[in-house]
Amino acid sequence: MRTQVAIIGGGPAGLLLSQLLHRRGIDSVVLERKTKEYVLGRIRAGVLEQGLIRLMEEAGCAERMHAEGFTHDGTQISYGDEMFRVDFAELTGTSVMVYGQTEVTRDLYAAREAAGGKTEFNVEDVVIHNADSAAPHVSYRVGGAARRIDCDFIAGCDGFHGISRQAIPLDVRREYEKIYPFGWLGVLSETPPVNHELIYANSPRGFALCSMRNDKLSRYYVQCSLSDSPGDWTDRAFWEELKRRIPAAQADQLVTGPSIEKSIAPLRSFVTEPMRWGRLFLCGDAAHIVPPTGAKGLNTAASDVHYLYNGLRDFYENGSSRGIDSYSENALKRVWKVERFSWWFSSLLHRYPDQSEFDLKIQIAELEFLRSNKAAQLAMAENYVGLPY
């Protein structure tokens, strides 16, 4: 099989890249190790920056998002029983949209299928060959049958545990990592959200987040021990703990119900450099991970797609390699700024095992400074709604 761009990974990053390329007449094949149903069954956050919204529009996949998504002009931050609002619209003139990552992926699959795009599911034994040459190819197996794709370029959109990053030699890549000493216990419930905007809560008992998927489906999180498992938490224990961590007025309004999904996610910050080796380009979680505080994972993957898509478009349409040659440098500049924001926001809201009394006082002082200082709120809002590409 021959294509122009082989895309490894059928999640939102790979699908978005394939659809954008298709709209410019650039052929691609997407390889996904799981089934479509499995990919769409993964529950992920869904706060979309304006940059991702514009890319979905350019990909021709924004109609349902605009019809069903919820525009959020700000967010709530609490500490103890104190709560204040950061007004994105007033501070930056823009907003974010709450629209589940699963729904983004569903829309992209629908567009790819309507366009007749080639997607291979249940692929195994994927190997990248000759990425540092002018003639790369990818070998793999489907149902025991060996297959091969010859291509001009390879986009590694296969996540943190994928094979793409590992294809870059160890003497070429350098990795940076921070492991956080806690996780997030998340619960999805068919209940109305406690607030029409997200609530980020700093509590003496640990962090909590009140989020939503729509007006009848809520997503809540509490900071938990890395040694916990979802089975350690009954629904009742979760709801009681959440109520202890948010302001009393919101706790009194909280509608509880049976969980329909419960999971624990560890938190890490991770970056690999460079994000390009020869004709192999890393996108999204294959190159970097952020803690979920601030909802930057999907959005940062989208910024990678922006840089790579435009670089490939310039190559095929104008014969220029400038965009692909500068891809890693441009993407990493933004990645590190996003890493900084996610680290700062996590540090502001969580309780750490080694925090001293001094550290706790500084954390509260930082929250009160953010509450009272418009310049600090502007800096936060600019990062939250999305730094420019």
Q: Which residues are catalytic?
A: 72, 200, 292, 296, 384
DSSP one-letter string for 127-152: EEE-TTSSS-EEEEEETTEEEEEE-S
**In contact, 257 and 238? CB cutoff 8 Å:** no
Return the number of other C-beta atoms located less than 10 Å from residue 89's C-beta: 14
**In contact, 181 and 226? CB cutoff 8 Å:** yes
**In contact, 18 and 116? CB cutoff 8 Å:** no
In degrees, rounded to 5, the angle at the alpha carbon of residue 271 between the alpha carbons of residues 359 and 281 is 160
Q: Which long-range contacts (CB under 8 A, 24 or more apart) does 262-265 make?
A: 262/185, 262/186, 262/187, 262/188, 262/230, 262/233, 262/238, 263/43, 263/185, 263/186, 263/230, 264/183, 264/184, 264/185, 264/186, 264/224, 264/228, 264/229, 264/230, 265/183, 265/184, 265/186, 265/292
Half-sphere exposure for 211 (CA within 13 Å, toward CB)? 23
DSSP 8-state assignment for residue 91: H
Largest interatomic CA distance in the chain: 63
**In contact, 197 and 75? CB cutoff 8 Å:** yes
